[in-house]
A and B are shown apart, each in its own frame.
Chain A
C-alpha cells in the first residue's frame, strides 16, 4: 500500500472523491496541504480573494451541478471568514465540504496564533463536523464527510484539521474507502407505502388542489416526476423561491412563486385550496404569512426527506418522510392504479371550475397579464429582467444577491429548468451573487451565467472581480442600480413613513465602468429604455469577457405583490402602493 502524509492524503482523497474544483485561500495552518496540492494533485484549486467567496462559489457550484462544493481555508480568520458562506449553504441544504486548518494539536486551547474553535463556531450551521485527531483517520473522515453532505437532506460538513496531522515527514498507509457505514445516520430510503396510498387518494379527491413545491424537489432530482404528476392531473403548481425551475416557469399550469412576494394567483390559490401537496418545501415564514391563518380550508400532504421539516410550523394531515424522487415515483404508480379503477378521478368538473377561478385571479392581477408596474420616465427594474430573459432565451444560469433585484429576478425570469436559479433564499446573504456566478461558470463554461445584483450587494464581494480575471470566467453582472439599499428603503417607505435611515450612498458609489476596466473587464452603462435591449445583447455577445451592465433604474419602485403583515393571511397582499386585496 502507498505511504502518504496527512497533507498528501487530503489531496489524494479529493481526487478519489472525484472533486472537480477546490475553492480556497492559503494560510499557516494549511501550508502542508497547499504544498501537497502543489506537488501532486489533479484537482484544480481556485484562489478566491476572500474566504466568504470561496464558500459561495463552492455552494453555487453545488447548486448548479448537484455535486458537493469543496472549500479549503486556513485556521482563525480564514475559518471565520467562511462562516457566512457555511450558514448560507446550511439554510438552503446545499452539499458542501469545508476543510479548515487548525493550530497544532498540542496548542489547541492555548489561544495560539490564529486559533479559533471552528467546530464550536460552526456547530449550529453545519450538518455535521469532524475534528481530525490522527492522520490515519483522514481518508475515512473525508469519505464520511462527502457522504453526509450529499445524502438525505444535504448540508455543509466541516472538517477541522490540526496542522500537525498534515505534516509531510510522517507517512501512513493510504486507501480510500469504497463505502461508509454510520450506525447513527441513515436517511429514509423510501416513503411509507400506506401513507403514500392515503395521500394519493386525498390528492385525487381534491376539488381545489395546489401543488406547492420547494427546493427539495431540485435537490432530490425530482423535477421531471413533479412535472409529470402535475401534467397528468392538470393540477396547478406554485414554487417557493428555492424551488423555481422545478416546474417549468412558462407552463400554463404554473402559478408563479408564492409567499411574501409571490404571485397574486399563487397566494390566492393556496389560501382557497382544499388539498395542498407540499413537496420538498418547509412552510417557511416567508411563505406562510401568519401561520394561524394559513390556508384555512386545506388538508395538507407533506413529503420531505427531513422529518423535522414536517409539522414544524404547519401541521401536516398526511406526512410522508422519504426522498421526493422515490415517493413521487410511487405516487405516480398509485395514481395510475386508482385512475384505472375509477376513470372519474380526479373530479374534472370541479377542476375546471378551479382553473376558471385561477384564470380570473390571473387576469385580474397576474404579473404577466398586461403591465403590472408603474409608468416611468426611467427604466423599470422589471424591464431589465425581461430584457435579460429575452437576451438569454430563458436559458441562463442566473445567480443573484439579496434585495429587490432578487425578487424581480425570481418573479420575471421564468425558469424552465431546475438548478438554473441560484440564490441565497434561507439566509438571504448579500454578497452571494458574484462568487456564485464564478462557481457556476467554472462548472458550465459554455453556458450564459448572469449575476443579477444591486449596487449595495455587489460591493459586499466585489473583490471577486479579480478572481474572474484570474480564471477567465466571463460572467455577466446585471446591476439594477437604484442608488439605494432598495429593499430596506421599501420597508422604510411602507412601515417607517419614508424615513430613510442609512440606505443611500449615491454620492460615494464607484464609477463601475472604470472599476471594471481596472480589473480588465468591460463596463457598460445604460440609462434609457431604448438602449436596454441592445446593451443586453452586447453584454452576452462579448462571450469571453466579464461584463458589468450598470442599468440606472427607477429608484422608487417597490416589489409587489407583498404580503400584508403582521396578522395577514396568504391572501392579504399589497398589489401596488395604493392597492390591496
Chain B
C-alpha cells in the first residue's frame, strides 16, 4: 500500500542524507521526496511516499524515529489528509494543438505559466493521480520536460505535526 510519511527534521547539515541513506541502506524504496524549511528556522518538513504492508511501514517508521535528527514522524495515510503534488510540464505547442492543450489544461484546472512561440509551460497542482492523468491525456503532445515537487501533505482537521 502507498503511504505518505511526513516528518519534522532538525535543520542540521547531513540530516537529509541520514533519512535518504536509511532508505537505501535498508532496502526501503522512496517514490517521492519533498523537503523544505518551515516557519521554525530550526526545523524542516520532509514528506516522502513509499510502499509496503503494515509491518514494513511500522519498521520504517521506527527506524526513522530512531534517527537523532528526526524529531517526529507521522503516517498521513492513517487518517484524513490533504496531499498535493506540483507539476511543471513543458510541451511543444504549435498550430491547432495550442488550443487543444489549452482546453485540456483548463479541464484539469491547470495554468499555462509560460508561453513561447512553440512551447507552453503548464503548472498543475493536485494529487499524484491527477498529475499522472494529465500526463496520460497529453498522448498526442510532444512532452519536452516534466518536473514534479513530490507529494507534500498535511492532516485534515485539528491534528497537527508539531513539537
Q: Interface 1/0s, chain A 359-386, versus B by CB < 8 A?
A: 0000000000000000000000000000
Taking a contact as CB atoms under 8 Å apart, the answer to whether A183 and B71 are in contact is yes
Q: Does B18 contact A (CB under 8 A)?
A: yes
Q: Does B155 contact A (CB under 8 A)?
A: no
Q: Does B118 contact A (CB under 8 A)?
A: no
Taking a contact as CB atoms under 8 Å apart, the answer to whether A131 and B14 are in contact is yes
Q: How many A-B residue pairs have CB under 8 A?
A: 38
Distance, CA A308 to CA B66, complexed state (A): 8
Taking a contact as CB atoms under 8 Å apart, the answer to whether B13 and A184 are in contact is no
Contacts of B70 in A (CB 8 A): 184
Chain B residue at smallest Cβ distance from A182: B68
Q: Given the known A-B contacts A183-B163, A184-B71, are A308 and B25 also in contact in the complex, defined by CB atoms under 8 Å?
A: no
With both chains docked as a complex, state the minimum distance between the C-beta of A68 and any C-beta of chain B, in angstroms: 16
Which residue of B17, B62, B68, B71 contacts A148 across the interface (Cβ within 8 Å)?
A: B68
Q: In the complex, which residues 6-34 of chain B have their Cβ closer than 8 Å to any Cβ of chain A?
A: 10, 13-14, 17-18, 21, 25
Q: Does B65 contact A (CB under 8 A)?
A: yes
Q: Does B99 contact A (CB under 8 A)?
A: no
Q: Does B69 contact A (CB under 8 A)?
A: yes
Contacts of A185 in B (CB 8 A): 68
Q: Interface 1/0s, chain A 308-344, versus B by CB < 8 A?
A: 1001100100000000000000000000000000000
Contacts of A124 in B (CB 8 A): 21, 25
Q: Does B139 contact A (CB under 8 A)?
A: no
Chain B residue at smallest Cβ distance from A306: B66
Distance, CA A444 to CA B62, complexed state (A): 38
With both chains docked as a complex, state the minimum distance between the C-beta of B73 and any C-beta of chain A, in angstroms: 10
Taking a contact as CB atoms under 8 Å apart, the answer to whether A307 and B62 are in contact is yes
Which residue of B14, B65, B69 contacts A119 across the interface (Cβ within 8 Å)?
A: B14
Chain B residue at smallest Cβ distance from A152: B66
Which residue of B10, B13, B55, B72 contacts A311 across the interface (Cβ within 8 Å)?
A: B55
Which residue of A120, A184, A308, A311 contacts B69 across the interface (Cβ within 8 Å)?
A: A184
Contacts of B59 in A (CB 8 A): 308, 311-312
Contacts of B68 in A (CB 8 A): 127-128, 148, 182, 184-185
Q: Does B149 contact A (CB under 8 A)?
A: no
Contacts of B66 in A (CB 8 A): 306-308
Q: Does B63 contact A (CB under 8 A)?
A: yes
Q: Given the known A-B contacts A183-B163, A308-B59, are A123 and B69 also in contact in the complex, defined by CB atoms under 8 Å?
A: no
Taking a contact as CB atoms under 8 Å apart, the answer to whether B65 and A123 are in contact is no
Contacts of A131 in B (CB 8 A): 13-14
Q: Does A239 contact B (CB under 8 A)?
A: no
Contacts of B14 in A (CB 8 A): 119-120, 123, 129, 131
Q: Does B58 contact A (CB under 8 A)?
A: yes
Distance, CA A124 to CA B63, complexed state (A): 12
Contacts of A148 in B (CB 8 A): 68
Chain A residue at smallest Cβ distance from B10: A184
Taking a contact as CB atoms under 8 Å apart, the answer to whether B17 and A120 are in contact is yes
Chain A residue at smallest Cβ distance from B24: A124
Contacts of A182 in B (CB 8 A): 68
Distance, CA A516 to CA B21, complexed state (A): 45
Q: Which residue among B17, B59, B65 has the maximum number of chain A CB atoms within 10 Å of its CB?
A: B59
Chain A residue at smallest Cβ distance from B69: A184
With both chains docked as a complex, state the minimum distance between the C-beta of B31 and any C-beta of chain A, in angstroms: 22
Q: Which residue among A123, A129, A148, A182 has the maximum number of chain B CB atoms within 10 Å of its CB?
A: A123
Distance, CA A401 to CA B99, complexed state (A): 74
Distance, CA A148 to CA B68, complexed state (A): 9
Q: In the complex, which residues 105-134 of chain A have their Cβ closer than 8 Å to any Cβ of chain B?
A: 119-120, 123-124, 127-129, 131
With both chains docked as a complex, state the minimum distance between the C-beta of B65 and any C-beta of chain A, in angstroms: 7
Chain B residue at smallest Cβ distance from A144: B68
Contacts of B13 in A (CB 8 A): 131
Chain B residue at smallest Cβ distance from A124: B25
With both chains docked as a complex, state the minimum distance between the C-beta of A293 and any C-beta of chain B, in angstroms: 18
Chain B residue at smallest Cβ distance from A187: B66
Q: Which residue among A127, A307, A308 has the maximum number of chain B CB atoms within 10 Å of its CB?
A: A308
Chain A residue at smallest Cβ distance from B25: A124
Distance, CA A123 to CA B62, complexed state (A): 18
Distance, CA A123 to CA B163, complexed state (A): 26
Q: In the complex, which residues 271-297 of chain A have their Cβ closer than 8 Å to any Cβ of chain B?
A: none
Contacts of B21 in A (CB 8 A): 123-124
Chain A residue at smallest Cβ distance from B14: A119
Contacts of A127 in B (CB 8 A): 68
Q: Interface 1/0s, chain B 36-63, versus A by CB < 8 A?
A: 0000000000000000000100110011
Contacts of B25 in A (CB 8 A): 124
Distance, CA A183 to CA B65, complexed state (A): 12
Chain A residue at smallest Cβ distance from B9: A184
Distance, CA A492 to CA B65, complexed state (A): 42
Contacts of A120 in B (CB 8 A): 14, 17
Contacts of B65 in A (CB 8 A): 307
With both chains docked as a complex, state the minimum distance between the C-beta of B52 and any C-beta of chain A, in angstroms: 14
Distance, CA A501 to CA B66, complexed state (A): 42
Distance, CA A131 to CA B69, complexed state (A): 13
Taking a contact as CB atoms under 8 Å apart, the answer to whether B18 and A123 are in contact is yes
Contacts of B72 in A (CB 8 A): 184
Chain B residue at smallest Cβ distance from A185: B68
Distance, CA A128 to CA B21, complexed state (A): 13
With both chains docked as a complex, state the minimum distance between the C-beta of A157 and any C-beta of chain B, in angstroms: 9
16 further A-B contacts with Cβ under 8 Å, apart from A148-B68, A185-B68, are A120-B17, A123-B17, A123-B18, A129-B14, A131-B13, A183-B71, A183-B163, A184-B69, A306-B66, A307-B65, A308-B59, A308-B62, A308-B63, A308-B66, A311-B55, A311-B58
Chain B residues engaging chain A, CB cutoff 8 angstroms = 10, 13-14, 17-18, 21, 25, 55, 58-59, 62-63, 65-66, 68-72, 163
Q: List 8 A-B contacts (CB under 8 A).
A: A119-B14, A120-B14, A182-B68, A183-B71, A184-B69, A185-B68, A308-B62, A308-B63
The 6 closest A-B pairs by CB, nearest first: A184-B71, A128-B68, A308-B62, A307-B62, A124-B25, A185-B68
